[in-house]
Copies of this chain bind each other. A is one copy, B any other.
Amino acid sequence: MLRRMKHNEDAVAPNRPRRVTATDVAKAAGVSRSAVSRAFTQGAYLDQEKKERILACAQELGYHPNAFAAGLQTTQSNIVAVITGEMRSQYDHELVDHLLKGLLAIGKWPMVLSGRELASAPNLQGIFGFPVDAMIVRGGSVDPFVTNACAKLQIPLIISGCIVKAPLVDSVSCRNFDGMFALAKLLAASGRRRIGFIDGVPNRASKAERPAGAKAGLAEHGLSFVATITSDYSYHGGLQAAQTLLAEHDLDAIMCANDETAIGAITAVQDVLGKRVPEDVAITGFDNLKMAAWPNFNLTTVQNPIRDTVAQILRLLQERLANPAKPGETVLTDAPVVARGTH
């Protein structure tokens, strides 16, 4: 399908124009191709004046060293695959946004794979064709297929949002348990006694740790949840779940698995049921979205620290690239309570 042709003969109507190549620049500058390569290589022996002439010609012709060809020589491709999962929550967007900017800032090119069904085997196959320097995976979407493939191909794997203990795998997560623990104690200490919990869908990291932390916190005060309901981490889920919960139980507080659920719950309590927050019912979230600080909601929550998390991911990435054989590391970031007006 590919027309075979020499460089110097013109194609009649090529489908994609041929890239400007180092040989072209060499010809234009009257030097060898090696010299052109050296002009773009830091610290290579090359006459200063000749180097400037080459770079000028390159600029003129629009030459950029082909990263594919270079990648065949070098051991680093500078491409990092980022598997984001479903991107359902606002928190995911904020985190991924920071992560992508951070990767660019350290000279890595992020290739982003998002969507639920795309995290499954057949769709992910293709990414392993690229010699990526590493893969970064958001917690929700840790498919065993990915773990196995990375282990087999020796691709550094960094997981964010849940803890995975595997030989060479690094992971970063916030202290979900501790955050919820402290938040529950805050509620209990301020006199709440009939407390409910709106959980998220299964298969997420927080599924286990967050409710467990809350339960443990309540237990310290001799309390336990009056009722628990499972929702889907969404605003509408929270809106619905809070109504269901309050229709069946007389609660003076509802803890939610994340901020979006909590904001839905606030709306249900205030606008639908006509009760007051926090006077009648306290509401708490988890994540500390930007929205949580808006005066509309002024949500008492736990901070899921984006900046720290991203910084740790980048640190782990760079350290592992420097030393691929170092043992897998697990980083837990602090998740402090942010006490605002809904408790």
Contact = CB atoms under 8 A, between A and B. Distances in A.
Contact of A68 (B19, B97, B101, B130): B130
A115 B101 contact: yes
B114 A101 contact: yes
A109 B126 contact: yes
Contact of A74 (B2, B104, B239, B290): B2
Contacts of A87: 97
A189 interface: no
Interface in A280-314: 290, 294-296
A73 to B, nearest CB: 7
Given A129-B66, A129-B70, A104 B109 contact: no
Interface stretch (A149-157, A204-212, A243-251): A149-157
A296 to B, nearest CB: 5
Contacts of A97: 87, 93, 114
A129 B65 contact: yes
A295 to B, nearest CB: 6
A273 interface: no
Interface in A9-47: 15-17, 19-20
A71 B68 contact: yes
Interface of A: 2, 15-17, 19-20, 62, 64-77, 79, 87, 90, 93, 97, 100-101, 104-105, 107, 109-115, 118, 123, 125-131, 149, 152-154, 235, 239, 263, 267, 271-272, 290, 294-296, 324
A77 B129 CA distance: 11
Given A16-B75, A68-B130, A294-B235, A104 B110 contact: no
Given A114-B104, A267-B294, A129 B67 contact: yes
A110 B96 CA distance: 14
26 contacts: A2-B73, A15-B75, A16-B76, A17-B154, A19-B131, A19-B153, A62-B152, A64-B125, A67-B126, A67-B131, A68-B130, A70-B129, A79-B111, A93-B93, A97-B114, A100-B114, A101-B114, A101-B118, A104-B113, A105-B115, A109-B111, A109-B126, A110-B112, A235-B290, A271-B296, A272-B295
Contacts of A130: 67-68, 109
A320 to B, nearest CB: 11
A93 B112 CA distance: 14
A131 B21 CA distance: 12
A64 B128 contact: yes
Contacts of A101: 114-115, 118
Contacts of A16: 75-76, 154, 324
A235 to B, nearest CB: 6
Given A64-B153, A100-B112, 16 more contacts: A16-B75, A17-B154, A64-B125, A67-B130, A68-B68, A72-B72, A90-B90, A97-B114, A104-B113, A104-B114, A104-B115, A104-B123, A107-B126, A263-B296, A271-B295, A272-B295
A133 to B, nearest CB: 8
